Structure 1
Amino acid sequence: MTNTKSIAVLPFVNMSNDKDNEYFCDGITEEIINALTKVDQLKVIARTSSFAFKGKDVDVRDIGSQLGVNTILEGSIKKSQDRVRITAQLIDVEDGTHYWSKRFDRELIDIFDLEDEISLAIAEEVRNNSGHFEIQEHLVEKPTTDINAYQLFLKGRSLQLQWTPQSIKEAISYYDQAIAMDKNYAKAYYANLQCYGLMAMWGYIPYEKGIELAINNLLIAKELDPSLPEYPLSYVGKFFWEEWDFKNAFIHINKVLEINPNHIDGLEAMAELFMALGFFEEALNYANKLLEVDPLSANNHYTLAHIYYYKNQWEKALEAVNYALILNPELELAHHLKCFCLIWLNKRQHFLEFIHNTSLLAEKKLLFELINGEQMEVPAKIIEKWSQRDDKETMLVPYDVFILSNSHHKELAFSRLAEMIDQRRGQIINYRQEPFLQPLHKTKGFDELHRSNLSFSDIKPQTEEEEEKSTSTILSDAQIKSLKEKLLTYFKEEEPYLNQQLSLKFVAEFLGLNTNKMSFLINQAFHTNYNDFVNSYRLNHFKTIAQDPKNSHLTILGLAYDSGFNSKSVFNTYFKKMEGVTPRAWMKASLS
């Protein structure tokens, strides 16, 4: 179901002569997406899903359908020396109408003010077309005073998002250059923190060295700006994955989501935390929130599949993980999860076809037989192979523990599991939920392997009042009634709708309101949005003057413009929506 207050920002097209400016266009697109996510009640599609359409010729109606939005923003950027030109247009997905467009020309030094101006204009126009929601006074804060440092940051960000060891190493270089130009650039320190943390966890730099460098960047960043969501998020990895301190992880994830309720990393972390605790309904709630704002992320569908897997809903898990692999065939964890689903569903032929020419082939086949066949023995040579494995060769998924747990070697399985838990290995953080480890649950000492310091009673469920900020007190019923009469009189006597550039702000100032209250008033008093409210007057005016013989020499479009419409497509679309026929057909019928 499409949310009427929703938008997807497609990647801005690079119109510069220099193709290397692609990073700049992508960076500005992401900044605007991030700014719009701050608007409560506006669904904004995340970068991963919006960028899935980069460079593709896809009808906006199809994009809207895939992403579950009713508005698409598309545009272009031309950067030349010290100036930047950004064009943007909003498209109504349902009918393909371009109901707003604007061109912005600025000096590059004003880029942050420009990002704020564009983001606010987009939010206001979406509200005018879809219904009331609150908009803050500003959506973009200036992260640095040095525009060159900002451009280096964007270069680093474009490399980081490639998520390869080499690209992250290069990203760090650009972040370091940005910091050299502006020692107070908090976001660059936070970016370095994430990069070093990833490199350490992936094993591409010595773990102790990587964590030390990450902490050094954190210590500087938190002194510069602890208000960014990156600050509490930096502690989530430490408490959750490194220490299995679920209570502190929960506290800091909540801090991230308090700053930005739609923060992708925050939503994902909460889903994974609840999964580890076995709170599956809560995990599903956050997984679905993830998919609502980022529906084309393979990782998000993998997360959903994992929850179904732990609930022993194998068919649902298989369906979700299949889609994850369609979105990203290289997602290794999704490959393993599909193997497990096929094992539990006892789909032997499908399983054998799927694992053909893959790694750990012997382990996969052995696990299948242990679950679905008569075999309970594990060949001594494979156990010996595992025992000789270096710690750095730890399997991404612990097939050895799974296999031993379902054989006559449960004591050895328990010993290996206990060792991994002592080391806080991420591969087995969900060990209590893992179906393959079910045979170990009755083993003495299993319950004491790790005790969570976060219980279900510690998680305060949000009430509807907390989830949805009430707007009922913006204007009282008496104020709404009084202002409604004043607005109706104003439109009847002054006919402001004839002004093609009439804005919500202009009408609000006439009534002595701000734009948030003005939008709320129209929504509550007339049960419609601003654009439809104004266009209803324009339509009535058109019908009146169109039937006047003295205007017979004017074209339909000319009459529409005289009625206040400033777009042919908007006029035609709105007319047909309200009258059920085209303007030309209506004219022919009314004048015959």
Structure 2
Amino acid sequence: MNKKSIAVLPFVNMSNDINNEYFCDGLTEEIINALAKIKQLSVTSRTSSFYFKNKTVTVEQIREKLNVATFIEGSVRTSKRKMRITVQMIDTLEDFHFWSEVFDRNPEDVFEIQEEISHFIAEKLREHIGHLEIEDKLIERYEVPVPVYREYLKGRYYLMKLDYDSSLKAIEIFKSIIERSPNFVNPYLDINQAYTFMGTMGLLPAFEAFQKAQSFFEKARSLSPNSSRVQLNLAWIECWQNWNLKKAYEHANKALETQPTDEIYLTISNLLTVEGKLGPAQNYIDKALELDPFSSINHHYKGFLYYLQEDYDKAKRYLEKALELNPNLPFPPIYIGNSLLLSGKPIEALSYFNTLSGISIKDLTKLGGKTMCYAVLGETTKCDDGIKELESYLTSDLVEKALIFLILVYALLENEDKVLEYVKEAFNNHLPLVLLLNPSPVLKSFKNNQHYKDIMLRAIPDNVNYKQKKKYKQALLDTNEVTRYSKELKQIMIDYKLYLNPDLSLKDLASYLDLPANYVSQLLNLGFQKNFSEYINTFRINEFKERILLEENKGLTIMAIAYDSGFNSKTVFNTFFKKIEGVTPNAYLKSHR
């Protein structure tokens, strides 16, 4: 267990006023966001923290379920003139309360309250677990009147219920806030999030939902282009809409620099999956699950990666856990059924798809899944009927879902012409499903089809599944190979800034070159006269030297900037910096400012 790990449980509303409930949830969320800015601290995400709302739990349960060394709990009681907030911190390893504090404050001083409590928690945490680099400002003060902010918290309360009616209610609240405070960026981002959620979950037609979200996102982007949430959205847009993975990585890494969250680690895992780099993708989804172990989508994606790697038993376990956490999640059923089908259990798979309940007919999972089973079982008439019904949706809003099932069915039927016909149709219409075909185990037999490979490489030029496979020698790389790969590696480091990931491994680096790890180790030695750590840390030092001189970073400590540059150890940073520069970081800073 990481000693520097913490969860903030939802603050308990000790008043009868529902408005105080909004404030309690908002205060909890703001403290989580504030603590997440501390680079060395692992902070459990909102989803997992709020899993325990209104539940009575023991210290042991928190330790086991969230895998944290400490957690915060508190309560809020309000009257017209006074707000009393009680906060206490509990050590899960020793099972004791090592401090408790009561704050009596004016309810109108909402921003000062959030900042004060966040800093108080951070300072007490540092006293208890060891050194942390704490910024002077942890809470972003919104330039809006307090009544508007309280109304905003009400909107967040409904948004995070994650259902159709609550999402619409949240959108209505956020729109009224925009009318009063048009330069407040958060409501635009939250409306974008609400529509995106409804489109992704099938609660609205995806195209309609994303179209409605677009104008709100563009306004948020104009107001705060560098915010973590804006950069994260841009990463998704560049990947799924523009098919530009290089730019998608750039935006995802910017978001990661600003505030590491499980959503960002999940996004990077997505990008790596699209390229077929399933090993590194596993590393990132594991990090997302570490921060948010009760996130249904994180469990789904972990299961999806096992499915892609044809480890169907493990895939089913994670996919079923995702449905346990959120029975309305539309994605896991198709991969649970497919895991049964592809592991040689077509009768069991057919039974699973037949008994699916709570799945909208517009989802097509039941129809598509059953048709795939009929294809494998050789039930021609039923399969043909399923294909005809799927084809009837090709002129509807469900064209993308229909196409992906038709491609999978025809792949199982080994009908090469039909697979290519529908893949081309998807590609020509720039449908995101093309990116999902890349690592699909159902389509692995098509990897040797030149026409299919050409389409995949046009969509994803760096696709590791379809690039020409290299034959490696037992001997060391020759001079020409060292020169070529050294140049390619340097460009990868510049384009993707892999060194900003503090958990980067030699194996991760090797996946970007499509070389075995031992070859990359040889390459670093022969081409750069460095081992892996020396090579990566050199980039981190250069990044630090650039950042430390920026005006915007003058208020940050040296170590805060070092952590932003990819280092995760003060000792390693100081030692390596002096080795490279010949002076300490402090001396360097004094001589250059």
Question: TM-score over 0.5 for the alignment?
Answer: yes
AA aligned to 2:295 is S
Task: Check the 8 A contact 1:108/1:147 in 2, yes or no.
Answer: no
Structure 2 match to 1:5: 4
Structure-2 change in CA distance of 1:474 and 1:243 (3 Å): closer
Whole-angstrom CA distance in 1 between matches of 2:448 and 2:387: 23
TM score, norm. by length of structure 1: 0.74
Change (3 A) 1:242 1:207: same
**1:335–1:368: structure 2 CA closer, same or farther, 3 Å change rule?**
same
Q: Distance in 2 between matches of 1:430 and 1:361?
A: 19
d(CA) in 2 for partners of 1:62, 1:204: 34
Matches within 5 A, 1:111-260: 111-199=110-198, 214-260=213-259
Counterpart among 349, 352, 356 of residue 351 in structure 1: 349
Deviations 1:442-476 (A, max 9, x none): 33421222332557853453246653344249999
Provide the C-alpha distance between the structure 1 equivalents of 2:206 and 2:314, rounded to a whole number of angstroms: 37
Aligned with 2:498 (options 458, 461, 481): 461
Equivalent position of 1:106 in the other structure: 105
Q: Which ranges in structure 2 are unaligned for 5 or more consecutive residues?
A: 360-364, 465-488, 500-535, 541-564, 576-593
Asked whether the equivalents of residues 143 and 186 of structure 1 are also in contact (C-alpha less than 8 Å), the reply is no
Counterpart secondary structure, 1:75: strand
In 1: Cα distance, 2:425 partner to 2:6 partner = 48
CA apart distance, 1:325:
2.5
Per the alignment, residue 422 of structure 2 pairs with 416
1:535 aligned residue = none
C-alpha displacement at 1:266, in angstroms? 1.5
Cα pair distance change 1:99/1:269, threshold 3 Å: same
Shift of 1:267: 1.4
- Structure 2 Cα separation of the partners of residues 106 and 339 of structure 1: 55
Tell me which amino acid in the other structure corresponds to 1:440. F
Partner of 1:273: 271
Q: Is the Cα–Cα contact under 8 Å of residues 84 and 102 in structure 2 kept in the other structure? A: yes
Kept in 2, the 8 Å contact 1:377–1:408? The answer is: no
The residue type equivalent to 1:461 in the other structure is: L
SS of 2:3 mapped into structure 1: coil
Larger Rg: 1
C-alpha displacement at 1:429, in angstroms?
2.2
Within 2, Cα distance between the matches of 1:25 and 1:400?
A: 48
Is residue 368–residue 390 contact of structure 2 (8 Å, CA) maintained in 1? Answer: no
Q: Which residue does the alignment assign to 2:519?
A: none
Which sits farther off after the overlay, 325-334 or 37-46? 325-334
Describe the shift of the 1:124–1:163 C-alpha distance in structure 2 as closer, same or farther (beyond 3 A): same
* Separation of aligned partners in 1, 2:388 and 2:346: 27
- 1:275: Cα distance to partner? 0.7
Q: How does 1:495-574 map to 2 (within 5 A)?
A: none
Counterpart check, 1:51 vs 2:50: yes
The amino acid of 2:89's aligned partner reads: L
Can you list the C-alpha shifts for 1:189-208, whole angstroms capped at 9, x where unaligned? 22223334445666767877
Residue 350 (structure 1) shift: 4.4
> 1: distance between equivalents of 2:3 and 2:268?
26
Looking at structure 2, the residues matched to 118 and 180 of structure 1 have their Cα atoms a distance apart, in angstroms, of 31
- Residue matched to 1:367: 372
Given that residues 334 and 369 in structure 2 are in contact (C-alpha distance below 8 angstroms), is that contact kept between their aligned partners in structure 1?
Answer: no
Classify 1:387/1:362 alpha carbon distance in 2 versus 1 (closer, same or farther; 3 Å). Answer: closer
**CA distance, structure 2, for counterparts of residue 429 and residue 258 of structure 1:** 26
Q: Does 1:406 align with 2:404?
A: no
Alpha carbons of structure 1 residues 428 and 294: separation in structure 2 relative to 1, 3 Å:
same
Amino acid across the alignment from 1:129: H
Aligned-residue Cα RMSD (Å) equals 2.8
Match of 1:332 in 2: 330
Give a deviation string over 1:334-386, Cα, whole Å, max 9, x none: 11111111112223564355334226556434423544x56688743333222
Residue deviations 1:262-292 (CA, integer Å, cap 9, x gap): 2232111111111111111211111011011
Distance change in 2, residues 1:439/1:115 (3 Å) = same
Counterpart of 2:518? none
Q: Report the equivalent of 1:286.
A: 284
Q: Distance in 1 between matches of 2:399 and 2:57?
A: 43
Task: Judge conservation of contact 1:112–1:142 (CA < 8 Å) in 2.
Answer: yes
Rounded to whole Å, the distance in 1 between the matches of 2:198 and 2:319 is 27
**Residue 391 (structure 1) aligns with:** 396
Change (3 A) 1:233 1:83: farther
Higher mean C-alpha deviation, range 391-400 or range 183-192: 391-400
For 1:203 and 1:277, locate their aligned partners in 2 and report how far apart those are by CA, in whole Å. Answer: 26
Q: Which amino acid aligns with 1:452?
A: I
Residue identity opposite 1:116 in structure 2: E
| Superposition deviation, residue 418 in structure 1 | 2.0
1:401-426 Cα distance to aligned partner (Å, 9 max, x none): 21111215331222112222333334
Counterpart pick for 2:460 among 439, 452, 463? 452
User: Residues 305 and 316 of structure 1 are in contact (CA less than 8 Å); yes or no, is this contact kept in structure 2?
Assistant: yes
Equivalent in the alignment of 1:480: none
Give, in whole Å, the separation in 1 of the partners of 2:367 and 2:167: 34
Question: Is the partner of 1:152 in helix, strand or coil?
Answer: helix
The 1:192/1:365 distance shift into structure 2, 3 A limit, reads closer
- Contact 2:374-2:383 within 8 A present in 1 as well: no
Corresponding residue for residue 529 of structure 2: none
Q: In structure 1, what residue type is equivalent to 2:4?
A: K
CA positional deviation for 1:155: 1.2
Q: How many residue pairs get matched?
A: 473
Secondary structure of the corresponding residue to residue 74 of structure 2: strand
SS of the equivalent of 2:97 reads strand
Percent of residue pairs bearing the same amino acid type: 30
CA offsets, 1:225-265, max 9 Å, x none?
Answer: 334212212312321222222111111111111111x2232
**1:57–1:199 Cα change, 3 Å:** closer
Aligned mates of 1:334, 1:419 — CA distance in 2: 26
Task: Specify whether residues 454 and 250 from structure 1 end up closer, same or farther in structure 2 by C-alpha distance, changes over 3 A only.
Answer: farther
Q: Supply the AA of the counterpart residue of 1:436.
A: V
Q: Identify the residue that residue 552 of structure 2 maps to in structure 1.
A: none
> Structure 1's 45 and 341: CA in aligned 2 closer, same or farther, altered over 3 A?
same
* 2:438 is the alignment partner of 1:432: yes
**Residue aligning to 1:309:** 307
* Stretches of structure 1 lacking an aligned partner (at least 5 in a row): 477-592
Corresponding residue SS for 2:110: helix
2:71 is paired with a residue whose SS is strand
Give the distance between the partners of 1:399 and 1:165, measured in 2 at CA: 26
In 2, the alpha carbon distance for the partners of 1:154 and 1:403 equals 47
Flag the structure with more relative contact order, 1 or 2, with Cα contacts below 8 A and sequence separation at least 6: 1
Where 1:69 maps in the other structure, the secondary structure is: coil
Q: Deviations over 1:101-152 (max 9, x none)?
A: 1111222232112111111111121221112221111210202331111111
Is contact 1:37-1:44 (8 Å) kept? Answer: yes
- The corresponding residue for 2:386 is 382
Distance 1:76 1:337, change over 3 A: same
Contact map agreement 2:232 2:251 (CA 8 A) in 1? yes
1:558 is matched with which residue? none
Matched-pair contact (CA < 8 Å) for 1:86–1:103? yes
Work out whether residues 4 and 130 of structure 1, in 8 Å CA contact, stay in contact via their aligned partners in 2. Answer: yes
Q: Deviations over 1:538-572 (max 9, x none)?
A: xxxxxxxxxxxxxxxxxxxxxxxxxxxxxxxxxxx
Distance 1:207 1:348 in 2: 31
Residue in 2 that maps onto 1:471: 570
Aligned equivalents of 1:134, 1:43: Cα separation in 2:
13
2:15 touches 2:77 (CA, 8 Å); kept in 1?
yes
Native 8 Å contact 2:249 2:268 kept in 1 = yes
Q: Matched residue of 1:430: which SS?
A: helix
Aligned twin of 1:504: none
Distance 2:321 2:385 in 1: 37
Question: 2: CA distance between counterparts of 1:188 and 1:368?
Answer: 45
Q: 1:103 to 1:475 in 2, by over 3 A?
A: farther
